[in-house]
Chain A
Amino acid sequence: MRKHAIRYIAVLAALTLLSSVFAGCGKTSGGTEAEKPITIGVLVPLSGSEAYYGNDMLQSYKLACDEINAAGGVLGRKLALYEADDGCDPNMATQAASKIIAKGVDFVVGGYGSGATIPTLQLFYDEDLLMLVSCANSTDITKLGLNQTFMINSPGTHAVITLTELCKSLGTKKVALIHQGDAYTKNLSDICEKELPKSDIAIAKVQVMEKNTPDVSAIVTAIRNSGADFVYWCGYHADGSNVIKQLRRGGYQGNIAVGDGSASVELISACGSDGEGVYVTSPPFVEFAQGGEKFVADYKAKFNMAPGTYATLCYDTIYLLKEAIEQAGTTETASVRDAVQGAAYQGLSGMIKFTPEREPAVSNFIILQIKDGKFDLVTL
């Protein structure tokens, strides 16, 4: 009897497999050019450790699209999103990119981790697709020299400018850096190593901490012995909270700042009282943006949760694209590309403009500090 059951399950599983293969084969068709929605591919991590951010990004894109559609769309056409999960992994990301390309989208937005985003850019470029990278901010993205790739989020160099200002105002002498070895966090650490000494701030030590390292005592000891009076954590919040707790419990008295990879309310809850006073070089959090109240209210009403770190950047990305399409008067890639290059869009995250290298011309980093279990805007 048991054997029969297993056999039936196996057959059933096989049938499901087959049917979904064939279901995936059907290509969409129908509708004339003018009626068809403008499809925007969304490349975000929807599974794995970074799924929280990917989901937040997707919801922000959705909110912007729904607003635009309710107001009549763009050039009389609706906007439609088509998301693909990049899992924040290079191999999965190229697969997701193929999925987006196969759908025949008009534009692509998204990109959370630089490591996963970079391999997809050539694929999109080969298909003559415009890619607006909302979050990934390694300068390697623009170094590829693909003239249809734009970075919306300020790169690490902007974060370090903000960090230098913070260090100067605190009278910092020696900074210890910790990164997690991946493209994004190492890039940030490398820039700090290069730029901070120019402002007479010494680098005490650069530590590497792999993701999901449970024991950080070696790093804490090394930092305490290095005589640093400022620790800059370049990594992500999951491990960052652990480092902050251990530093404080190990008797470290100096200042601690974290990079935008840790700029999440989850950092506050994970750190508890040890997190008090920690600085964040943060992307433009919506709570501190001008005109952000309406966005927060709408986001909460729609998704029943608070908007996350990159919500404003993603929201602005869609509006920037809308403006560019309207200015170009067409969805043709080359014209829209030129419109984006020349854009000066005032969004929730600040002014969005591009350098000739297609990086943001205006920094959108802000400094936050954890006070009484909440983020507080710091003005220097």
Chain B
Amino acid sequence: MSLVISHLARRFGPTPVLRGIDLAVEQRELIALLGPSGSGKTTLLRIIAGLDWPDAGGLSFDGDDWLARSAGERRIGLVFQHYALFPHMTVRDNIAFGLSVRPRGNRPDRAGIADRVGRLLRFLQIEGLADRYPAELSGGQRQRVALGRAMAIEPRVLLLDEPFGALDAQVRRDLRRWLRGVHDSTGTTTIFVTHDQEEAFELADRVVVMNAGMIEQAGRPDEIYDHPATPFVARFLGLTVEVPVAMRAGRAEAAGLDLTALPRRAIPDGPATLFLRPADIQPLPDPAAPFRVTEIVSTGALLRIMARDDAGCRIEAEIPRRDGRDLREGQPVALRPVTGQIFPAGGTLAARAPATPVTLKEAFA
């Protein structure tokens, strides 16, 4: 266990931004803080960095109380969303900054600094840019320099705030793979903030989904994807179709829907809500079914099918285009969800799972 966050709370004036965060980060872990804007993920990152201070709670690293240490004493590497490179310094001097500001006693000598910077430049594949200024670099290059500057001090924890937020799609994908490689070869414990689900799931060992200042769910990407713990996580992960159902003996029932493919759930009898991904719903032509296709839109690879029943319930399904050749508008269809998530009705908050810290060991148990 390296970084332990306990009951962390922070408010800006009357607005609570963090409402009791508990999280433990293991050595060498790569963690994504995922959430919509305003969920408090950047504030959490800044508190870990020592640039903001909580109103309550604890933060320690290997038993050392970090709330008693300044940002500089924590030896963390922080990469800012807009990089915050020093514009009056060359790439080389930017990367050397953290070493050159050390007190004389433990500062490497000139040759030592040059050597470390040279190795980083090679490692990050930006040797050719060493004598350029930040204004002369592209976004992706600046990102690499910012990472190099943070890594030069051999940080105990690397923190990245929306690391790919300001880049275009292709560069994002390349840098994502590259960052994963950097992490795997250095083994530095890394926490990054993102609002991009794909980015979080592709990169991270563990994803922490945040909403309104609380952790909704923390776990391995596949685990969260398959078993969202709360309605918020379900919606955030694309389970955008919500159908009211009735639970009976652990099975969900709804008129016109074939829910037999869903496993039994330990949810008491009564009203509940079924969350579905459009791609997990199969529309099957069935003259007796209450749902009718109202609209079919092609996105190229997929067909997006809107269906509604006489009661006005609308459901959106997505299927590969080649599977939808026999579907016509106005046709009656039976809808068969392959997989979905059920939460008892009665408000989303009641269904919220307690935000308990999930350690890596528990996650893999």
The answer to whether A and B belong to the same complex is: no
Residues of B within 8 A of A (CB): none
